Amino acid sequence: MSSMGEQSGGRRGSADKMSGAADSMKGRAKEMAGEVSGDEQMRVKGMAEQAKGKAKQAAGRAKENIAGARSSMKGKSKSKSQGEGQGRRKR
């Protein structure tokens, strides 16, 4: 069973990915609006917001990967400790 930290890391990662996707979409809309209107400052702000969103998405993926790795390692350590002492026989 996963610990609370592992579960919240995975959930937090998903929230970061969703928030990042929303930021990227808003940034793209601002960039396009800036292009259409000729507002260079809005276009640049949109590009920055897209970069922020991509960074949040990457952080979310990293958190999910870490939570998954912890869960995987926890499972391996349990199975390893259960098998200890069974491989050798006393002579």
Which pLDDT tens digit goes with each residue over 5-28? 444 567 788 899 999 999 999 999
Question: How confident is the model over 51-79, as a mean pLDDT?
Answer: 86
The number of beta carbons lying within 10 Å of the beta carbon of residue 54 is: 15
Q: What integer pLDDT is reported at residue 6 of this predicted model?
A: 43
- Report the run of H or E that residue 4 belongs to, with start and end: helix 4-37
Rounded Cα distance between 81 and 63, Å, is: 27
The dihedral built from the CA positions of residue 31, 42, 48 and 27, taken in this order, carries a sign that is: negative
pTM over 0.75: no
Cα torsion at 23, 29, 33, 34 (round to 10°)?
Answer: 40
The number of beta carbons lying within 10 Å of the beta carbon of residue 63 is: 20
